[in-house]
Amino acid sequence: MNDTAVKNAKPKDKPYKITDGGGLYLLVKPNGSKLWRYKYRVGGKEQNLAIGCYPEITLKDARTQHEEARALLARDIDPSQHKQATKGNRKAAAANTFQAVATEWLVKFTATQVPEHTDRQQRRLERHVFPWIGGRIIGEIEPPDILAVLRRIEAAGTLETAHRVKTITGQVFRYAVATGRAVRDQTADLKGALPPTRGKHFAAITDPKEIGELLRAMAVYRGAIETRLALQLSAYLFTRPGELRQMEWAEIEGDVWIIPAEKMKAGRVHVVPLCSQALALLDELRPLTGRRRYVFPSQTDTSKPMSANTVRSALIRLGYDSDTMTAHGFRALASTRLYEMGFHTDLIEKQLAHSVGSDVRRAYDRSQHIEQRTAMMQQWADYLDSLRDGAQVIPIRRATG
């Protein structure tokens, strides 16, 4: 047999063979297809190994695969069974690549998230991760491989994106560990490998579009109801995380929350006006914890408040690591946007429970500006709702008075 004979072989009414020796032959079928086959015997039974189709598999290629099959047979290995096992191994390997695991994770664990949040995660993976390690077996990827990916993003001047990609990559690895395709989260060794995005300040999102995305993600948080409500109240009230988690039902008087001096950083009683949205969230929570001391009791010991890590961990579950958004960051988020909305410094700083002015001024200024702060807090909550609901244009409503 030669190349010309293979090329010129014409179909007939019935299939026929052109042999090449050693059991290799070309099967020409009536429809014109030409198939390479290797006929051999195992245990006294005739077997046929499908090598491939001509012209995709040339005569030279067919002879090479034929010789490999004969070598296997000489070692008492059935070439057909070996081919099936190899095919199965390749299929299993393909299911264990970083890209395959990440795609599976996106489908299984982001189905109930806000679609744009899922889309953003997928775009980041496709742009920054898949081209470099997407085809690698996830269990073989090491921390330096991931760091190289993050360094490329950092070098492009998008450090915040690098932190977010690190968080997403860690979530994929943890899913791989849970499904038996990796032994550990390799991003755990990269703590401190990237510089922080905002120095020593608590990380916070301040862009209105990203705030809206965060609020939508929080609204569909999959976890304890108390945790979801703590997240949402953190945005509406922007008190310090410790103040919120230690909130007591006895401290709520009508439409205000009065925090006693011993719980405040400055050692002074702090009054927090409760917007209608906050009151609605508390009404939702009251049947669950209303008979307890704390509004947000610990899951393990209801005589104590929830853990200091609860809200932070919930943010991480939503895809926001500590270098992107923190529980304390809700205060910076509110402060930044409230100033943009035109509210007076005194109102904002009093609501944040910051000291304003000199010691003498603070000694004589006993005003709490409750009415103005109540109006500000309601306007703030309405503004957040407009971002959450996806308003395209958010008017800045200047405060009066």
Give me the active site residues, please: 240, 265, 328, 331, 354, 364
Element (H, E) at 232: helix 225-237
Kindly tell me the burial class for residue 123, based on how many C-beta atoms sit within 10 Å of its own C-beta (0-12, 13-18, 19 or more). exposed
Q: Which of 158, 166, 92, 96 is nearest to 125 (CA)?
A: 166
Kindly tell me the burial class for residue 369, based on how many C-beta atoms sit within 10 Å of its own C-beta (0-12, 13-18, 19 or more). middle
**Between β-strands 256-259 and 24-28, what pairing exists: parallel, antiparallel or unpaired?**
unpaired
What does the alpha-carbon distance between residue 268 and residue 259 come to, in Å, rounded to a whole number?
A: 9
Q: ∠ CA(43), CA(44), CA(46), 5° rounding?
A: 105
The 10 Å Cβ neighbour count of residue 270 is: 21
What does the alpha-carbon distance between residue 337 and residue 376 come to, in Å, rounded to a whole number?
A: 12
What does the alpha-carbon distance between residue 234 and residue 226 come to, in Å, rounded to a whole number?
A: 12
What does the alpha-carbon distance between residue 30 and residue 11 come to, in Å, rounded to a whole number?
A: 5
Kindly tell me the burial class for residue 190, based on how many C-beta atoms sit within 10 Å of its own C-beta (0-12, 13-18, 19 or more). middle
Q: Which amino acid is at 349?
A: E
What does the buried/exposed string (b/e) look like for 333-364 if buried means 16 or more CB atoms within 10 Å of the residue's CB? bbbbbbeebebbeebbebbbbeeeeeeeeeee
Tokens standing for residue 94: 């393909």
Q: Which of 359, 368, 334, 357 is nearest to 259 (CA)?
A: 368
What does the alpha-carbon distance between residue 17 and residue 36 come to, in Å, rounded to a whole number?
A: 10
What does the alpha-carbon distance between residue 272 and residue 132 come to, in Å, rounded to a whole number?
A: 50
- Dihedral through CA 61, CA 62, CA 66, CA 72, nearest 10? 60
Q: Which amino acid is at 355?
A: S
